[in-house]
């Protein structure tokens, strides 16, 4: 078992990629690009009054988590309880599971984590989910957020009545603590649809205001619409409460040079900054069996990506030679 304060396996900066120290294929994160992306997003969040809990499911890198937290991140978001356990083992102090947690073993683990220096939040969208979470026994209540959804989307309450019933059930349980409301807007098609959904989050928070704590989380989370989140969620719009507008965008840290190159909100607000692709995958040419054909020693499982894998040209390779690789835990 690794110590909870462990952050990584050392830093290979300064070693040549071609000196025999590494095996192939080799995925490299360019430190300069990663650092600029982290600084760009941290600055954007500060300027717009957003708390940032970047989604860590893509990298699951303690080294990158540490850098994001050092830049001011509220915590780290993950998709599953197992990922939350990994974060816990690596010393991340605050974790949000942006999902329902129904597994009895996962809930028992969450309830047993009573360290005052560690906070774990997760989502509920049904009375059954509340009942499962409330069946745990711990020394302090588990903080949960009521998830709001939309027809055809992922999880989340589909009606205001359901959301309010779930919130009341959470508030009635001594083993749970209502922390706020949350939703995922990433699958919506355009700015008007995203804005309308974020307004639903605000409406839900207003409806359950009497059940919320003085500092209430209102969270949204894709990497394609964070400019709309910045325009809709911050502000003094929940009477009697301080809103914590929590953004969960996470793909920015390495910024895949494909889907997100075309869909980053910085294309709509270029004056706010820019992100750059930070990953290069190096592979050996292992065969040239016929004229005009070269076979590289890599496959799709060696090239993880968020969405839309993009092959880059020699100009990217030349840029990579001028940059220093970063350790990715």
Asked whether the predicted pLDDT for residue 8 surpasses 80, the reply is: no
Looking at the structure of the chain, the number of domains it has is 1
pTM of the full predicted structure? 0.89
Query: Residue 213 belongs to a domain with what CATH number?
Result: 3.20.20.10
Higher pLDDT, 99 or 262: 99
Place 25 in a pLDDT band, splitting at 50, 70 and 90: very high
In a domain, 96, yes or no: yes
* Structure token pair of residue 305: 């990506």
pLDDT of residue 162: 98
In a domain, 218, yes or no: yes
What percentage of residues in the chain have a pLDDT greater than 90? 74
Q: What is the pLDDT of residues 30-78, one digit of tens each?
A: 999 999 999 999 999 999 999 999 999 989 999 999 999 999 999 999 9
Answer whether 65's CB lies under 8 Å from 86's CB. no
In a domain, 9, yes or no: no
Asked whether the predicted pLDDT for residue 192 surpasses 50, the reply is: yes
Q: What is the pLDDT of residues 132-154, one digit of tens each?
A: 999 998 889 999 999 999 999 99
Asked whether the predicted pLDDT for residue 7 surpasses 70, the reply is: no
H/E segment holding residue 34:
helix 31-47
pLDDT of residue 325: 47
Hey, is 104 helix, strand or coil? helix
pLDDT of residue 319: 46
pLDDT of residue 138: 86
pLDDT of residue 13: 60
CA 59, 61, 64, 68 torsion-angle sign: positive
Mean pLDDT of the chain: 90
Answer whether 224's CB lies under 8 Å from 186's CB. yes
- Angle (CA) 53 56 59, round 5°: 150
Answer whether 217's CB lies under 8 Å from 177's CB. no
pLDDT of residue 137: 87
* Structure token pair of residue 133: 């979470």
Mean pLDDT value across residues 208-214? 98
pLDDT of residue 310: 63
pLDDT of residue 70: 98
Q: What is the pLDDT of residues 219-252, one digit of tens each?
A: 998 899 999 999 999 999 999 999 999 999 999 9
Hey, is 188 helix, strand or coil? coil
In a domain, 196, yes or no: yes
Asked whether the predicted pLDDT for residue 2 surpasses 90, the reply is: no
Question: Among 63-77, 112-126, 291-305, which is the least confidently predicted range?
Answer: 291-305
Burial class of 74 by CB neighbour count within 10 A (0 to 12, 13 to 18, 19+): buried
* Structure token pair of residue 33: 């690009």
- Which structural domain range is residue 200 located in? 32-272
pLDDT of residue 15: 76
Place 314 in a pLDDT band, splitting at 50, 70 and 90: very low
In a domain, 130, yes or no: yes
pLDDT of residue 10: 53
Answer whether 167's CB lies under 8 Å from 216's CB. no
Question: Among 15-19, 175-179, 291-295, which is the least confidently predicted range?
Answer: 15-19
Measured between alpha carbons, how far is 101 from 299 in angstroms, rounded to an integer? 33
* CA nearest to 43, candidates 275, 252, 272: 272
């Amino acid at each position: 078992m690794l110590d909870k304060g462990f952050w990584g396996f050392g830093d290979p900066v300064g070693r040549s990629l071609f000196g025999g120290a590494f095996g192939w294929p080799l995925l490299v994160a360019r430190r300069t690009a990663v650092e600029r992306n982290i600084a760009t997003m941290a600055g954007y969040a500060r300027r717009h009054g957003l708390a940032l809990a970047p989604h860590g499911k893509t990298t699951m890198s303690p080294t990158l988590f540490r850098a994001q937290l050092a830049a001011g991140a509220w915590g780290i978001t993950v998709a599953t309880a197992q990922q939350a356990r990994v974060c816990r083992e690596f010393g991340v102090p605050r974790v949000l599971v942006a999902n329902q947690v129904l597994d009895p073993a996962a809930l028992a683990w969450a309830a047993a984590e009573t360290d005052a220096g560690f906070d774990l939040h997760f989502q509920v969208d049904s009375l059954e989910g509340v009942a499962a979470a409330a069946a745990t026994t711990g020394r302090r209540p588990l903080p949960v957020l009521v998830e709001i959804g939309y027809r055809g989307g992922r999880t989340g309450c589909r009606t205001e009545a359901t959301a309010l019933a779930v919130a009341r059930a959470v508030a009635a349980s001594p083993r749970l603590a209502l922390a706020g409301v949350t939703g995922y807007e990433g699958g919506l098609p355009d700015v008007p649809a995203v804005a309308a959904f974020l307004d639903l989050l605000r409406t839900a928070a207003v409806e359950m205001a009497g059940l919320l704590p003085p500092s209430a989380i209102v969270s949204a989370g894709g990497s394609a619409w964070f400019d709309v989140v910045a325009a809709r969620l911050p502000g003094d719009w929940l009477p009697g409460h301080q809103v914590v507008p929590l953004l969960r965008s996470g793909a920015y840290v390495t910024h895949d040079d494909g889907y997100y190159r075309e869909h980053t909100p910085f294309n709509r607000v270029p004056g706010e900054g820019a992100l750059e692709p930070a990953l290069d995958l190096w592979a050996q040419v292992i065969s040239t069996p016929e004229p005009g054909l070269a076979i590289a020693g890599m496959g799709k499982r060696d090239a993880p990506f968020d969405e839309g894998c993009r092959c880059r040209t020699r100009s990217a390779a030349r840029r990579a030679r001028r940059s220093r690789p970063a350790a990715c835990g």
